[in-house]
Chain A
């Protein structure tokens, strides 16, 4: 605009229109400064996180090296051990290796998969070396008394990271207890081929549950404090802004059109999300799920958004963390984005 120059050039003129413009510009500058600060803060946090990760990786590798060297030392020490102590000595080494193995499995979650793989290979090598050494020092005689030999067989099996991970997910699955829905103030459960609507008077500020529904459609025109979605098959769920978390567990073949601060998905397959979320969504033990931006609307949704304070401008629908996918350089095969052309843009009101 032609008169912007004037605004800059005439700082002490008190013409109302100009003053107003000045204010707008100061405002804008302030906002920019705020954004800049926010950006800096974000960068700082990212840096911190990165260094934290590095720290744990560093700690891991030094602790691992130390333990490994100790074991190698012991292997060299074998030559000095008397025959009668030999069995115990090897037992001790095996126990050390087992402990190291446990340390690696426990660390699996916090470390880049490459580090884990390297550590795993080192352990396998150690185990082989110990087995060879033992065979050399204690060749199996034909007539040993079985009872004299302690069973050290356990240490010989290799445990891989995949197995450790599988263990984790099996635990999660077994312990998955769906407790009584009676305790919830607001829930919809055990329905087949029904259409259910909930409004703000029923759901606002409460934890809401949807349990064991088949072929059904649920529309929640309001803001629950949290939404628990469990065991749904062939369903569609629509929900207004949730200022807390949405949990999705054991759903199959559903379409979930939801907005929330956090999304936590477990044991779910073949499901589409039309999502508004203000943090990174997470999926675990979940496959073939797809994401697109939130497209639902209803009378009063604007008011619900502003009442909950859920940021409408910030939507990280395409930034998903897969708990079962440790590699950061390759995209998880378990989730994808719905191509723009295939996205549903309007739903029944």
Chain B
């Protein structure tokens, strides 16, 4: 039995999924995580390291890694790539000034060998703000249609109202499940 098969079998048993949540600082990663977990979101500080949460959802055990996105922390992102099943890229849809920066960071991540098999979910966050760009425009600005190497989807959402968080998470789980956990 090859290593891959063994890994597959192991994961299958526990139905464990590892999700890595990245994005520029202030995108709303920690807020999404806490909102999804039903925690208070009014007192969240910028992340100076990382948060890990293990959540049970639809019979899956989700290990969600939320790593700080400030510029000086981005070189540490690669420490968290290993065995990532799904990458959640969070965008601050109201921050038009840094969309270019956001695009570059995303595309360079997708070149990473260790993320090669991962499913990509892009959350166009902060849709509740009147000044935010709709997900369609984010999709263009980030040139998502260029991505051929990963399964991806973009989903407009709001961590403050909770809108569409479930939709996105369910999609990424389904996509990962169809790859990793064989139906038997």
Contact = CB atoms under 8 A, between A and B. Distances in A.
Contacts, number: 98
Contact of B94 (A41, A106, A176, A225): A225
B101 interface: yes
Nearest to B50: A110
A207 B96 contact: yes
A264 B101 contact: no
B71 A172 contact: yes
B49 A261 contact: no
Contact of B26 (A204, A209, A245): A245
Contacts of B126: 225
B108 interface: no
B44 A262 contact: yes
A42 to B, nearest CB: 9
Contacts of A180: 97
B26 A226 contact: yes
A127 interface: no
B129 A262 contact: no
B72 A264 contact: no
Contact of A284 (B43, B70, B97): B70
Contacts of B49: 109-110
A185 interface: yes
B131 A225 contact: yes
Given A183-B96, A262-B26, A106 B72 contact: no
Interface in B37-72: 39-40, 42-46, 48-52, 70-72
Interface in B11-35: 25-26
Please classify how large the interface on chain A is, using the bins under 10, 10 to 19, 20 to 34, 35 or more: 35 or more
B130 A205 contact: yes
A179 B71 contact: no
Contact of B129 (A171, A209, A225, A280): A225
Contacts of A247: 26
Contacts of A38: 40
Contacts of B75: 168, 171
B26 A279 contact: no
A184 interface: yes
Interface in A257-312: 261-262, 264, 278-282, 284, 309, 311
A179 B102 CA distance: 12
Nearest to A208: B131
A284 B72 contact: yes
Interface string B92-129: 10111111110000000000000000000000001001
A206 B94 contact: yes
A169 B72 contact: yes
Contact of A321 (B48, B79, B100, B131): B48
17 contacts: A41-B40, A52-B52, A109-B49, A171-B71, A172-B70, A179-B97, A179-B98, A179-B100, A180-B97, A206-B130, A207-B95, A207-B131, A261-B44, A262-B46, A278-B43, A280-B45, A282-B45
Interface of B: 25-26, 39-40, 42-46, 48-52, 70-73, 75-76, 79, 92, 94-101, 126, 129-131
> Which 5 A-B residue pairs are closest in the complex by CB-CB distance?
A206-B131, A205-B130, A279-B45, A172-B72, A280-B45
